[in-house]
Structure 1
Amino acid sequence: CEFPTVAPAEVGKPSRFSYLAVHKPGIDISQEMFGAIACFDHQKNILTTTELRPNCYPMEPIYAPNTEDSQKGWVLTVLFDGDRNCSEVWIFDSSKLDAEPVCRLALPEVIPMGFHGTWSQEY
């Protein structure tokens, strides 16, 4: 994994959930980029991963909290689709990371792999 993240309010504190980019099972990690994002539940010791089609590569997941319910939120990732040569922002319900994204936003340009970010409620 690379750059696991937690909810912004939990940075530097014990956190139940960590969000991270991971390799798909059974691939040659020396030849392939991260092919999924995942959530690790530290209480239950469970890893939940997204199911992305081949040639789709997510970048660092970013947790965006729900301001009305601190137990809920969204996980955002910029995804490169190698078959279509385009990038999109995919937004997942943080409690249903193994479901389809709740929103997909097309981007006007390809975003380079390795792009990093964070969530700020102030802007």
Structure 2
Amino acid sequence: MAAMVATTGVAQASPAGVAGGNYGECGVLPVSDNCYIEAPGFPGGTVMVDVDVIPSPGGEDFENHFDLTAPGQIGLCRAQFKAGAPNWTWWCERVNAGTLQLNVRKRDNEAVKMAIRW
């Protein structure tokens, strides 16, 4: 099982300081309860997961969660958080090399910004 460390309010690393990864966004429309990205070519080791869930104006701050998977490691790094809370960065350690997949659960009235970085 991978170890996980979480922090809040951490600034995004500059592109020059990031070796690889992927970024994605999902808006309120089309209606969907998942936001998903893949990041191929991860060399193995420690990865950073950034997640920001933004409720629509007047929307409730529901409980959300994400799951990060790697080859041979299903749900290796997961966390729960409130929509509308400050953006978070999680460090997941001892992650297998290969294509990483990040799935963020969301409600219909929420938008998501997320990234996998190494």
TM-score by length of 1: 0.31
Bigger strand fraction: 2
TM-score by length of 2: 0.32
Relative contact order: is structure 1 or structure 2 higher (C-alpha 8 Å, sep ≥ 6)?
Answer: 2
